[in-house]
């Protein structure tokens, strides 16, 4: 039976450079169009980690070269990344659809804003490093000039850190839903969406933050009333005791089991933990909903119950 599916593409689906991205999206397109060919309605969200960093560094270099350009806000860098990642994904999806004789499915990317709470505690404790590495002296100068928090990143140098608040509302969810229901393949919520805060007169102001793309994809799936959330990552299944002698790959988890494993520290923060937490949140959001965590190339088999880790009540 066909499903409405939101897919969260991980970094391995996009590569780390422009040439890598151009090659990676062709592989990504084949796996996604497999699901469409099976009759599913698919909406695609994606990360932007390397890409937004590249843009941020480039715009910072431009400002140094020409101070009149001014500083480019992180929210604008996020918008730029959504556009150029969407450009490559659109073309790859369109080509793959046409190659299979699917000629009636337009493909589009939506620059997506995601509302966050200005009082989210994450703003008091920035945890996400962005931008280039700096020496201690460069970091002090940068912090004095910009007012942005900097700290040492795993002994590799100093970097700017930004908050990672929870998403509260997908601003363009209505447009995404209408396009998907009208037969479009929609690409949206790039990099977790552009974080924005409501100000006076309904103005949306970009926030200096990044939103976890798995949590944004989960919220999108809820707002679209999806049947399934698929979080694609670098492993075929979720494991406990990962990379230890007693490693155990999991075919399925209930939300209660997932929370127990998380409390034991089985899932790495910033890696598998947010994926599992997002999957649990979606599975509990409405009876009958389920989430799947697996490899890109295993998505079709995962939907068929042949592999991956399924989280359901």
The one catalytic residue in 12, 16, 57, 91 is: 12
Interhelix angle for 272-283 vs 213-223, to 10°? Answer: 10
11 given a catalytic annotation: yes
Contact 229, 275 (CB under 8 A): no
203: phi then psi, degrees, rounded to nearest 5: -75, 140
Strands 113-116 and 194-198: parallel
Rg over alpha carbons for the chain, rounded to the nearest Å, is 20
Beta strand 185-188 with 107-109: parallel, antiparallel or unpaired?
parallel
Which residue is catalytic, options 213, 237, 281, 298? 213
71 alpha carbon, distance to own chain's centre: 25
> Which of 3, 128, 132, 168 is flagged as catalytic?
128
Marked catalytic residue, from 10, 11, 47, 86: 11
Catalytic residue among 237, 275, 281, 298: 275
Residue 213 known to be catalytic: yes
- Residues recognised as catalytic: 11-12, 128, 213, 275
């Amino acid at each position: 039976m066909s499903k409405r599916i939101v897919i969260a593409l991980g970094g391995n689906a996009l590569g780390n450079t422009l040439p890598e991205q151009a090659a990676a999206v062709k592989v990504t397109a084949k796996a996604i169009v497999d699901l469409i060919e099976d009759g599913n309605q698919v909406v695609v969200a994606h990360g932007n980690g390397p890409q937004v960093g590249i843009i941020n560094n480039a715009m910072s270099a431009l400002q140094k070269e020409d101070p009149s350009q001014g500083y480019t806000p992180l929210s604008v860098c996020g918008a730029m990344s959504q556009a150029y990642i969407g450009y490559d994904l659109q073309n790859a999806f369109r080509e793959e659809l046409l190659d299979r004789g699917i000629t009636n499915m337009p493909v589009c990317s939506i620059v997506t804003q995601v509302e966050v709470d200005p009082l989210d505690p994450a703003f008091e404790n920035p945890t996400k490093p962005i931008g280039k590495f700096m020496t201690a002296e460069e970091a002090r100068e940068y912090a004095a000039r910009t007012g942005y928090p900097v700290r040492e990143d795993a002994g590799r140098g100093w970097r700017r850190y930004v908050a990672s608040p929870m998403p509260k509302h997908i601003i363009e969810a209505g447009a995404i839903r209408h396009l998907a229901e009208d037969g479009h393949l929609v690409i949206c919520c790039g990099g977790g969406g552009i974080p924005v805060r409501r100000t006076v007169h309904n103005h949306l102001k970009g926030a200096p933050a990044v939103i976890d793309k798995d949590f944004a994809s989960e919220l999108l799936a809820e707002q679209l009333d999806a049947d399934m959330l698929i979080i694609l990552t670098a492993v075929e299944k979720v494991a406990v005791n990962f990379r230890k002698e007693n490693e155990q790959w999991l075919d399925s988890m209930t939300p209660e089991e997932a929370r127990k494993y998380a409390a034991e520290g089985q899932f790495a923060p910033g890696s598998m933990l947010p994926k599992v937490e997002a999957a649990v949140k979606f599975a509990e959001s409405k009876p009958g909903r389920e989430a799947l965590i697996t490899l890109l190339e295993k998505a079709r088999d995962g939907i068929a119950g042949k592999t991956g880790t399924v989280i359901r009540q």
